[in-house]
Structure 1
Amino acid sequence: MQLNGKNKPQPNSQLPLTGFRVLDLCDLRGQSCGRMLADLGAEVILVEPPEGMLSRRRAPVVDSQSLYFATHNANKFSVQLDLASQEGKKDFLKLVRSSDMLIDGGDKSVWEMLSTSHSQLRSIYPDLIILSITDFGLKGPYKDFTATESVHMAMSTVLSRSGTNGSPPLLPPGELALETAAIQAAWVALLAYWQRSHNGKGDLLDFSINDAIAQIFDPGVGAAGSAAAGRTAIEVAPHGRPEVNFIPGKLPSVALLYPIFKCADGHIRTCTLNPRQWRSMSEWLGPDHPFTHPKFGAPANRLLNIDGINKLLASLFENQTREHLVAQGQKRGIPIASLNLPGEVFDNDHFDQRNLFTKIDIGGKKAKAPSGYFCIDGRRIGINTLAPKPGANTQDLLSSAKVKDALPVTGGESRKPLGGILVLDLGVIVAGGDLGRLFADQGATVIKVENKAYPDGLRQSIDNNPVPISFAQANRNKKSLGLNLRSDKGKEIFLRLAKNTDVVISNFKPGTMESLGLGYEVLREINPGIICAESSAMGSAGPQARTMGYGPLVRASTALSGLWRYPEKEMGFGDCVTIFPDHFAARVTATAILAKLIQRQTTAVGGFIDTSQAECIINALASEFLRESIAPGSLKPTGNQSEFDAPNSLYPCAGKDEWCAISVTNDDQWQGLCRAMNRADLADNTNYQTTEGRLEHRIDIEGIVTRWCNSRSPYEVMNLCQKQGVPAGNMLRLSEFIENPHYNARNFFRKLHQPTAGRAIETENGPVAFSDNIPPPQIQPAPALAEHTRELMSTLIGLSDIEIDTLIASGDLEIRKKEAGAIQQKVRTLAINSVMKILLKYHELKHFFKRVNDSKLMD
């Protein structure tokens, strides 16, 4: 589907992963990973039992069709095999021999029926990649635990920061945690596939959903937003959830910088951060308010007076419509977004022009579903075929299966997967910074192109540290080039670098690269193999493409903020401090780039990738939006109770603000919970033995479980439940995060020795804890601004020291501050020496001509 608006050229119409075959054993977990690979062109084959996968019956079901299955398995194929039979085992191995990758969703019964294991299968097929997707991984104290969305939210520290102080923690809507993990699984899958193409080796990837969520959704040790003033979440997050009201005598929460206000026809959110934005807001408030002094341009000073400021803004906005306020914000350069309702997302002209939604058949009716995450080479890469009927492709695929030739083993054990790849990184803040870091971690040479006149927002800190910890988390392993892209010489240098560059990434406002004369069309003329990736709030094309790219505004415009709310409170919005979807969007873009690099190996042609943070959110809620199109009004805030299962919620435990998530999703788990509670009477009660009965008696059951939890710690509740196979997890706080035994057993944390930090700081490890073929990243410090300018200009372009010094003196290049004084003195000395040489030459010539004249006179 071609994007309307600012179209990009299409260097190659074939999907990037064409020729990549994947067997998909995932059922109730991990199906989005295969769906993303299928969207990108891989041949993804569901291996189903004779009765079909359980996910085909997962609620909500409309006209016998699971909306979950429909959205998570589009573009895939289906074979049905009885793996308990000899014929089924034979057919399965036949498919394995013809495939590049096997995605295992962690169902142990499959391997019991096959009478084999991961290691045995790899010994037979050494170049096979096995991606094992389980809740907590194949190793670690929790490896046998089972989880659901709410349990993962609790155990990954996300829940402890979601909601508002003084209220229970609040589960985000949908299955955002599981969906974010799936994109990381896709990224890991392509890393292994790329690595195998270079060294011929297969892999066993021990992928933990919980690890991925802790890295992506709201990472405790990852980069935080610029409002955190250089600190990470683990340093700034309170023990409880954030305050959303000003309390005299207490340090205000940064959440107050992203306030939501009621207006005439709903709600709007503002995100006034920099001094220019505040000046415009101050002018809008009028000349007489008490906050006109220039000092209030600093966010810290506004925070100390935020109660009075927000009261003035509330009064200004209360009688105006959302449309008017958003228009005024655009006119004045103030970030403002409407808190849209789900139905308004469907009716959005911008999303229509970007082909975000596609119509699919559900029970003979046309429903609208988000089409897919990826926009590549000017077109939407998404749903082409509906989810397959059970076994629809069994005969065709078995009859056409051919043994793939074994790849020659050529590489060493420690090969860095992306070694040799050169990336020019113009990404800023979290989404841009994290994207480049993902490539740097895997061995790519990533050059952060920056300029002191327009510094990365993450370089701001409360202590003026040149490399704050949050910046270091997003920019470790990179090199910094100080380059003025607004000068002719600076642009010339960038274009010279681009001739031999593989990837250029940016997340400026759309159109910025073109205005600099460095857009994709220009770069591909000098380097047809270059891949340009642009990430923004709403995408590079469409009526709202130039919308300011702040995460809180994106969440508002996609209906996420309105859904992430205590249902009983009109102003009970719970997404106050999250930075979702920044880290998530970075993985979406990284996966698309790597898919294009894989394609480029055979085509030698690059391409253009356009990532929209808004579309990342909407696609992560694909099942929910599909249902909303069929049953308007169904997508609404639900709080902490599951609509489809009971008991399935959060339960208060012994102690202050201590919670445990418990999820009963089938009859066996209900019986397990009864055993954990030592309540045989409940197990025998016929009213509670089915899902329908438990939902009917939800209030009674929830009360029983709550009373049982009240006298026990979250850890005790978790362990009692997990021993009986019941998904349950304690609400983990950031103060407990680094000491968590499971994360430590899985090597989740590494040490980053950042010189400016004064200590070793905790940072995350690679995207998969254990792998046979992807080594852990080497952790190097993040650079000071322009730290590597001289080195890069010498090695990559071949400039001499004198040429580099001249460009530094003219402002086309920059170097780090401590070098600048010495260089300026050197330049001054060179200039003085040059002048002295000219003067000496002048005097020599003067004396020469004087002698000549004297000789003539003598003659």
Structure 2
Amino acid sequence: MPSTEFELPLRSLRVLDLCDGLGASCGRYLADLGAEVVLVEPPGGSPARQHPPLVAGVSMYFATHAANKRSVVLDINQQQDREAFFQLATQADLLIYPRSDAALRWIDTIRPLTEHADCTLVTLAISDFGNSGPCAHYLGSNPVHMAMAGITARSGLKGREPLLPPGQLTCESASIQAAWVVLLGYWQCLHTGRGGGNDISVFEASCQVLDPALGVTGSAAGGQGAGKLAPRGRPPAGSMYPFFRCADGFVRICVLNPRQWQAMSDWLGDSHPFTDPAFRHIGKRFKHLREINTLIQQRFATVDANDLVAEGRRRGIPIAAVASPQQVLQDQHLTARGALDELEVAPGLRGLAPSGFLKINGERMAIRHPAPLPGTGTPAFSPRSRKLPPRRDHAGRRPLSGIRVLDLGVIVAGAELGRLFADQGATVIKIETRSYPDGLRQSLDGAPMTESFAQGNRGKKSLGLNLRSEQGKQLFMDLVAKSDVVMSNFKPGTMESLGFGYRDLKAINPRIIVSESSALGGTGPMSKSMGYGPLVRASSGLTGLWRYPDDEAGFGDGLTIFPDHLAARVSAVAIMSLLIDREHTGLGGSVSLSQAEAILMTLSSELLMESLEPGWLVPCGNRGRFDSPSNLFPCAGDDEWCAIDVQNNAQWQALCEVLERPDLAEDNRLYTAAGRLALSDYLEEQVSGWTKDRSPAEVEQTLQKAGIPSGAMARVDELPQNAHLRARNYFRTNEQDGLPAPLLTENGPAGESFLPDPDITGAPFAAQDTVFLMREILGLSDQEIDDYIAAGDLEVMESQVNSGP
């Protein structure tokens, strides 16, 4: 059963939401966590109520993105409604709005409030490209952002056109980034007594949250940055995480370490030519990948996917079936976890939708009530059950200063979550040991510091601590007693087996907040499955949709590490909600996230539609579903492309003018989206004839000037020269010890913000700060520290150089 509002961590937070499409998931997530989110709609209702897909005239997008919100209808042209909005703004803690003309008119009415020196309202504007920079006037869309953020260039198969990922991942990711920013802003206001403004763009958030050019990469990357992993053109099919056709579909495996390979080798039998122990090394196997994969294909071809998954689990081999949307909706594991729930979208019309991102204190942060009818609420917030007294810390403080985090996280999602907190001023202590090193530490040449590790662990400190020795465990418990947050992303049950389950830690420190992240969640029949991102995408249905429609084996997610960076932000928002709640209650709590369910939430509208119209959700490739022409179009040069995304009749007419094709503009078959969709092949041929002789930049600029969403496909190594990102202060430099040159890195989570920029410092070497941390936090003497080191309970950096404060 869903939690009641009185149990939810943000139950005292008031949010005013003007989002009419873009950014709607931000308010939805805050509402899931208990905030009172009031959606302000114009007479006739929000435009989001007509956002496709529609069933019986009802928007699946609005049904999923406005759940748990309240609705008030206000007319900007009516004085009494402007006064009502002003009153709502004076009562609100947060205001979220798009940079649309309608929303900006409302913002103008509250300038006397927001410009007052003691205003406590935290505002966030979300738009395609932000309020400043050379592209601020651009029109964006999911295909445009995918192209311009360097995602599309890395998606698809070698020798083919680039492939757009499914869904609306850029907009959904930006909304979660927005939720992180506004809760940081609210936390800052709680400590300073002053609010302020934030400006976030989908473009910048896409660059940070999907597959960051300047972010941490997966362990299989050997420490290389994203720029070194992105060849011109697409990667070879399934080179690192291969697919295999089976009797009833496809499965995917991730055989990386020696133990996994030995199990796979045993499954293949005793007579194959790769039984030599030398093949336990991944580099050796890569040289014979084609032959090895051929043997695996022969073994799997006649077996059903579920049987292969069961046998793989028994043998300890990471494996997952490539699930279809219908299989996802009927999945026993997801059903057992309550990850899918019935949603009433209209009287007598009920579908199945993802119920919420995660669990807090064992309770799903789920849909408690469906999307509201227009204006069913009154223009006032409910009476507060609690309110914190204002503080007056200095306005320049880093938001999370004073918060201590014990970071047990590994690889991408673990590294990213801790980094988000370190960037905002928390003391983040990465706990690690050479006996079980973080896979992110591995490098191709054995170097102790890599670009990927530095990107994901900047600003942290490293403590070498043996969590398997009794004294090491006690030292960890002593640290828990003096800390605020514990983060981990081990296989479910690992923390409990070490004696570090939430109940254990809560008994030591009732204020502690424990966050755990795993592939499929901590409960359910598949919870103990080994979790790698490629397998999570396969089992959640994302991979099955991320393929070329004309090739049933043409899966295109070979280089992505989605959803790791998104999942980290989902967890970060939940942790912030518990920190806010702790200010009232004095008690901490637990966060449990399934990465698969985070993916489902980004596809919530599409899955709801599929539940009502089975067979609707299929791979679409690059062609838009709701208007035409909408696709990736070839441009002059080698593998050069531009996204063009016509979304309405006005943009279609503008495109006809650019193409100098009055015949198309006057063709009555093309007056509607449905008519254009019916002739997509023909229209795309006409547009391609115009784009193929022009550079992507020329196509982008010409069409944007005409008011048509378009964006040139960028590559990772081109993003650092992007003029808009530079103008928005997106880039910073990290003077990282152990690397040959200063490292270009990303700045904070918002292009413009009243919050201070991160204080960028380097990532630590393994166990670099052990002595300092033991002295400063636990007050140990040098002799005590030496004794723990001698006993193997503590580790220090191999060079014996320890950092100071």
Judge conservation of contact 1:83–1:110 (CA < 8 Å) in 2. no
Q: How do 1:457-496 residues align onto structure 2 when only pairs under 5 Å count?
A: 457-496=439-478
Offset at residue 399 of structure 1 (A): 8.8
Distance 1:672 1:197 in 2: 48
Distance 1:274 1:399, change over 3 A: closer
Distance 2:769 2:286 in 1: 36
Corresponding position of 2:722? 740
User: Aligned AA for 1:276?
Assistant: R
Of 170-179 and 281-290, deviating more is 281-290
Offset at residue 683 of structure 1 (A): 2.5
Distance 1:547 1:764, change over 3 A: same
Judge conservation of contact 2:2–2:365 (CA < 8 Å) in 1. no
Alignment of 1:793 with 2:774, yes or no, is: yes
Distance 1:608 1:110, change over 3 A: closer
Q: How do 1:716-727 residues align onto structure 2 when only pairs under 5 Å count?
A: 716-727=698-709
Distance 1:437 1:787 in 2: 17
Once the two structures are superposed, what CA deviation does each residue of 1:546-574 show, in whole Å capped at 9, x if it has no partner?
A: 11110001111111111101010021000
Candidates 66, 91, 116, aligned match of 2:84:
91
Identity of aligned residues (%): 50
Candidates 329, 332, 336, aligned match of 1:346:
329
User: Aligned AA for 1:154?
Assistant: A
What SS does the aligned partner of 2:738 have? helix
Corresponding position of 2:11? 18
Distance 1:117 1:674, change over 3 A: farther
Candidates 356, 370, 373, aligned match of 2:354:
370
Corresponding position of 1:815? 796
Corresponding position of 1:504? 486
User: Aligned AA for 1:382?
Assistant: A
Distance 1:489 1:335 in 2: 33
Distance 1:778 1:471 in 2: 18
Distance 1:684 1:467, change over 3 A: same
What SS does the aligned partner of 1:256 have? coil
Candidates 579, 584, 587, aligned match of 1:597:
579
Alignment of 1:312 with 2:295, yes or no, is: yes
What SS does the aligned partner of 1:495 have? helix
Offset at residue 407 of structure 1 (A): 7.6
Corresponding position of 2:195? 202
Judge conservation of contact 1:664–1:726 (CA < 8 Å) in 2. yes
Corresponding position of 2:621? 639
Distance 1:637 1:164 in 2: 15
Alignment of 1:421 with 2:414, yes or no, is: no
Corresponding position of 1:229? 222
Larger Rg: 1
Alignment of 1:303 with 2:286, yes or no, is: yes
Offset at residue 409 of structure 1 (A): 6.7
Distance 2:446 2:101 in 1: 53
Q: How do 1:368-407 residues align onto structure 2 when only pairs under 5 Å count?
A: 368-393=352-377, 396-398=378-380
Q: How do 1:102-181 residues align onto structure 2 when only pairs under 5 Å count?
A: 102-112=95-105, 115-116=108-109, 121-123=114-116, 126-181=119-174
Once the two structures are superposed, what CA deviation does each residue of 1:335-367 show, in whole Å capped at 9, x if it has no partner?
A: 111111111112222111211111112341321
What SS does the aligned partner of 1:818 have? coil
User: Aligned AA for 1:470?
Assistant: S
Judge conservation of contact 2:397–2:756 (CA < 8 Å) in 1. yes
Alignment of 1:442 with 2:435, yes or no, is: no
Offset at residue 820 of structure 1 (A): 8.7
User: Aligned AA for 1:794?
Assistant: R
Distance 1:506 1:771 in 2: 29
Offset at residue 401 of structure 1 (A): 8.5
Offset at residue 792 of structure 1 (A): 0.6
User: Aligned AA for 1:804?
Assistant: I
Offset at residue 123 of structure 1 (A): 3.5
Distance 1:150 1:195 in 2: 35
Distance 2:326 2:131 in 1: 42
Judge conservation of contact 2:36–2:381 (CA < 8 Å) in 1. no
Of 293-302 and 655-664, deviating more is 293-302
**Structure 2: where are the runs of 5+ without partners?**
none
Candidates 28, 40, 48, aligned match of 1:35:
28
Judge conservation of contact 1:95–1:401 (CA < 8 Å) in 2. no
Distance 2:55 2:230 in 1: 42
Alignment of 1:620 with 2:596, yes or no, is: no
Corresponding position of 1:547? 529
Pairwise CA RMSD: 1.9
Alignment of 1:524 with 2:506, yes or no, is: yes
Corresponding position of 1:838? none
What SS does the aligned partner of 2:631 have? strand
Distance 1:125 1:32 in 2: 29
User: Aligned AA for 1:729?
Assistant: G
Corresponding position of 1:327? 310
Judge conservation of contact 1:498–1:527 (CA < 8 Å) in 2. yes
What SS does the aligned partner of 1:738 have? helix
Candidates 643, 655, 658, aligned match of 1:673:
655
Distance 1:454 1:118 in 2: 55
Judge conservation of contact 1:751–1:762 (CA < 8 Å) in 2. yes
Alignment of 1:282 with 2:265, yes or no, is: yes
Candidates 657, 663, 668, aligned match of 2:639:
657
Offset at residue 240 of structure 1 (A): 1.4
Distance 2:795 2:103 in 1: 59
Distance 1:348 1:590 in 2: 27
Distance 1:777 1:283 in 2: 50
Distance 2:246 2:383 in 1: 61
Judge conservation of contact 1:596–1:607 (CA < 8 Å) in 2. yes
For normalisation by structure 1, the TM-score amounts to 0.91
Distance 1:498 1:297, change over 3 A: same
User: Aligned AA for 2:350?
Assistant: K
Distance 1:400 1:309, change over 3 A: closer
What is the number of equivalent residue pairs in this alignment? 800
Judge conservation of contact 1:206–1:768 (CA < 8 Å) in 2. yes
Offset at residue 112 of structure 1 (A): 3.9
Candidates 561, 573, 583, aligned match of 2:565:
583
Alignment of 1:752 with 2:734, yes or no, is: yes
Distance 2:621 2:151 in 1: 15
Once the two structures are superposed, what CA deviation does each residue of 1:65-100 show, in whole Å capped at 9, x if it has no partner?
A: 100000000000111111022222222111111111
Offset at residue 113 of structure 1 (A): 6.6
Judge conservation of contact 1:2–1:378 (CA < 8 Å) in 2. no
Alignment of 1:268 with 2:251, yes or no, is: yes
Distance 2:337 2:28 in 1: 20
Corresponding position of 1:846? none
Distance 1:804 1:598 in 2: 36
User: Aligned AA for 1:811?
Assistant: G
Once the two structures are superposed, what CA deviation does each residue of 1:453-473 show, in whole Å capped at 9, x if it has no partner?
A: 000000000011112111111
Distance 2:83 2:801 in 1: 69
Distance 2:469 2:146 in 1: 48
Corresponding position of 2:344? 361
Judge conservation of contact 1:490–1:812 (CA < 8 Å) in 2. yes
Corresponding position of 1:249? none
Distance 1:645 1:30, change over 3 A: same
